[in-house]
Structure 1
């Protein structure tokens, strides 16, 4: 039974082995403890998978979860999460998507959907308010992501996979509209279950505990986002690609398989260049006032333009300055259903293997004429594409080159070069899902992309990494896009990054580790704190009826981060897995500057201590008691 606002009160469980359809028990106490989204999914996975299993096992679960703010009118809140065991890492992965499926799943009356088992033949699932039906999908098998969505019934929320998911490419993605649950290989897990697509529809409305308060707060929330320099100007004008220029200036732009942090032709793959030469308009997810997504022209079609990560990994990382080619590859990868980040990472690694004589694969930095054909070979596992479909970690185990195999825990790194932001390097190493900039805490925002914190110092990096990880976990679980957290930092501190004010703020933050430690501790737990530039707490309170202050929201995020850690330990994770490749911790990015490498041992030791983990990276009994996880 559900007595809270923001929730539909039901979670659906579909077993494809037995074709059985049931409700999964999820109580109001669970909702208060885990909120929704990725934290809800982590708890479900933890409760149901007790021993290590292969990601492609029928016993693996595909958890698709919504959040209390979905459908509430809160800006940037119509998102959903997909969690499972990753085919790349063997650990928990979560992937967030801005497509319409989550909204329609709630309209059908469900807060979440759990898929277990494996169908003997290709199927798709239809979800409505009054029934759930499993259909034959033989005629859909082999179709691209857009073709599949076009064939399915109109006016429904849809998630689909492409040929890459069907062929279990370990970094295959799941699509809803043109939005992507991109990371960790969630599409490959869906394909391993012979599940091509899911649709959802209904007319139910998200209940809101205090409707008038929610309406007033949401109006203020929208105003805050529109008036902020990042969410109201930079992202609408240039999208996430606005960061290319800043990354170049700070030696943070992954270039030539992370050998360097700068690319001479960076301006040819920048947000400014895209706007001038290819942009049709900007757009965004349902109900989002930021509208950071790009619409560009490709072969006479208006298609989704490449995001920052795609530009970085398929551009400078491959020594490629041809934006028109990147736009083309981005469209092809979307149609095939494949993660652009991991694709760029594995091709860059293969190029360096070839350069060093370890693999005669005919791939070379700067020579990109044959890449398009290679993308299809990966998706269909043909020729060398079969090996590339395994990802960087497994490819290095076969071919060698481990020192420059750029991944963490098996997940290819995002486009931020961590030797130009060592706190981001710590985040990559300890992130629960592997080389993820968001799950890693996105400390690079403080280290040059937003503020002027010394990118090389170890001071306060552990404290702020933990703080940002926990807040981003909680904000995501609540249902809003993490871009809404940019507005937490006043525009006056960000507008002129590198200015006297920004640099002064960076120096203050460098010496604010003690303050961050207090925020991370239990000292403030019972304080009724709400931060004016973080409206999420008051909005969540109005929508759910639960009293969610800043300390409570932060604690929910900490609980989520630790239950993911506990699950990964159960799957076999040890402290030795919290690491980065040799290149990033032993080789100086700037040969004359010994600071330009990630001092991971120092950072990790301090991070474990601040987290309340023991020397082996395990949450202590004291911490578990505090979080209510015992």
Structure 2
């Protein structure tokens, strides 16, 4: 079989038994890899609800066909589990080198079950898997733990002190990249698993090596010539979005009470580049190089991404860029998701402001946040409450209307009252308040194209299209940032041209066409190599019959299967909602459209998805997706 190492190992931490997990060629073709294949494994492994903190819960780590290849931006790997934060299936994607080295060690994935009685780590060397004592690693931060696990030709994936202490939004770190969302690190900690190290010399066979090389050259050229992936992202990284978001009232500010921040220039990409940048940095095989190495307090550290600048900056009324850089570094070292940490602190500040929880935290007073990171990671004092996340804090102290989470997961830095499609994406995302799993429709609503964020018209269809696209791009192993290059440059380069304005105005009117194609994917049984390179890349690596239609169907199949798992976990249609602040309160008093019109979009969303009124995929839809036996 081409594109795969052809082995997935099951590792039982309770018994120490390691065995192979069978995956058929048909399953690989239907689910590819990554989060989509992980969903298949999860669904088949359980028939009833599973708790996040339980021996029964699995940690499923999956690579993809393009992982380990020279395909641009394709070093990604996935880790899935039942989240201790949301109680739902969570899939977290990571750009560190662990996935590459896992495949070189001879494995496409790992299924970790049980719970070790002692502190351990997993060593994988040339297909040989060993469970080893981790007492010398326990209590170490992520940087030190990785250093203790060996040299450059090894991939490491470790938790920090936050994971050890079961912080519900603890991350797992590979190199300096995080599998950040949903508390995967806490599940590692619960199982007494400090981390995993992998190394080997296996190479992956390609179906058509020459076509693959040609494909790569064209794809790299496309990425490097596009305004967003070839200029904006390399120049300023994801921090480039701060100024645009602020201008369009999309930047979460003061716990999402508004969408713009007066001091945004202190925390934007231009300031990061001018005052702190040392060099650009990227994941393996990445020509975009959106990462940053920056200086702060005399140290060279990883630079903050847009989400961190928003949640630890404008969201807290924190204009101290150097302080944000240091907070970002500390969160990585302790193993904390910066999004959930920043949102939880912002919520705590508003609770204090409203007199609901006297915790001493105040907006704009951020000099003590470095110590607060440690308190959360160690669950010390106030940190014990903050380690639980916004949903559980609201259940204890009140304020659920402004606890900024969906399904228990804190929202990203995009304020959706200025972007209706982004609001719908948050509400329907399988893993909770996630911008990427939610479809990232904000890329049409001001951060790429200029489709009106105020209108709800057509947004359900576009949200579904982008959710399915994000699902399958991730399943293939490619960074989601590459999807920026799909946007027509003519519409980005000339935003004020009368024809471009007309096109942006008309795009919502064509939601019916997107919906029609979604329900008749066979009409897209062709490839557009220059426009949508992913299907052909997978075809040249695996030999699978791949075109735009069945490529997007893989994404739809995965999205529906994740939905079924979450329904089994207790999800109901009433959970497909947003914090009341975003639905009932105007972002701007002078603009009656500045709230999310969720109810009308949800109905369209369910209908186009082929779900019933309770948000359950119908038998007819599942049969169409090849999931006949998966009805709840």
**TM more than 0.5:** yes
SS at 1:139 equivalent: coil
SS at 2:194 equivalent: strand
Is 1:113 the counterpart of 2:121? The answer is: no
Is 1:335 the counterpart of 2:333? The answer is: yes
Q: 2:363 — aligned with what?
A: 365
Is 1:101 the counterpart of 2:90? The answer is: no
1:230-379 superposed matches below 5 A: 230-379=228-377
Q: 1:566 — aligned with what?
A: 564
Q: 2:589 — aligned with what?
A: 591
2-side partners of 1:84 and 1:519: how far apart?
32
1:142 pairs, out of 139, 142, 145, with 139
How far 1:629 moved relative to its partner?
Answer: 0.8
SS at 2:328 equivalent: helix
- Measured at CA, do residues 56 and 215 of structure 1 come closer, stay the same or move farther in structure 2, by a change above 3 Å? same
How far 1:496 moved relative to its partner?
Answer: 4.5
2-side partners of 1:411 and 1:623: how far apart?
28
1:431-470 superposed matches below 5 A: 431-470=429-468
SS at 1:524 equivalent: helix
Q: 2:9 — aligned with what?
A: 12
- Measured at CA, do residues 553 and 444 of structure 1 come closer, stay the same or move farther in structure 2, by a change above 3 Å? same
In the superposition, the TM-score normalised over structure 1's length comes to 0.98
Residues 229-256 of structure 1, C-alpha deviations (whole Å, 9 max, x = no match): 0000000000001111110111100000
SS at 2:503 equivalent: helix
- Measured at CA, do residues 348 and 496 of structure 1 come closer, stay the same or move farther in structure 2, by a change above 3 Å? farther
1:167-182 superposed matches below 5 A: 167-182=165-180
CA contact (8 A) 1:489 1:533 kept: no
CA contact (8 A) 2:219 2:530 kept: no
Structure 1 residue ranges without an equivalent (≥5) = none
1:75 pairs, out of 68, 72, 75, with 72
Q: 2:148 — aligned with what?
A: 151
Is 1:209 the counterpart of 2:190? The answer is: no
In the superposition, the TM-score normalised over structure 2's length comes to 0.98
CA contact (8 A) 1:65 1:111 kept: yes
2-side partners of 1:455 and 1:295: how far apart?
34
SS at 2:436 equivalent: coil
Residues 380-415 of structure 1, C-alpha deviations (whole Å, 9 max, x = no match): 000010000000000000000011010000000000
2:53 pairs, out of 29, 46, 56, with 56
- Tell me whether 528-537 or 45-54 shows the greater mean CA deviation: 528-537
2-side partners of 1:223 and 1:530: how far apart?
16
CA contact (8 A) 2:138 2:194 kept: yes
Is 1:405 the counterpart of 2:397? The answer is: no
Q: 2:503 — aligned with what?
A: 505
Structure 2 residue ranges without an equivalent (≥5) = none
2-side partners of 1:239 and 1:123: how far apart?
37
How far 1:97 moved relative to its partner?
Answer: 0.5
CA RMSD of aligned residues (A): 1.0
Q: 2:41 — aligned with what?
A: 44
Residues 446-489 of structure 1, C-alpha deviations (whole Å, 9 max, x = no match): 01111111101111100000000001100110011011111111
1-side partners of 2:3 and 2:299: how far apart?
38
- Measured at CA, do residues 434 and 587 of structure 1 come closer, stay the same or move farther in structure 2, by a change above 3 Å? same
How far 1:499 moved relative to its partner?
Answer: 5.0
CA contact (8 A) 2:145 2:158 kept: yes
How far 1:497 moved relative to its partner?
Answer: 4.2
Q: 1:482 — aligned with what?
A: 480
SS at 2:522 equivalent: coil
Q: 1:604 — aligned with what?
A: 602
Q: 1:533 — aligned with what?
A: 531
How far 1:206 moved relative to its partner?
Answer: 1.2
1:413-424 superposed matches below 5 A: 413-424=411-422
CA contact (8 A) 1:518 1:524 kept: no
Q: 2:82 — aligned with what?
A: 85
Residues 130-183 of structure 1, C-alpha deviations (whole Å, 9 max, x = no match): 411111001110000000001112121110000000000000000000011010
CA contact (8 A) 1:493 1:501 kept: no
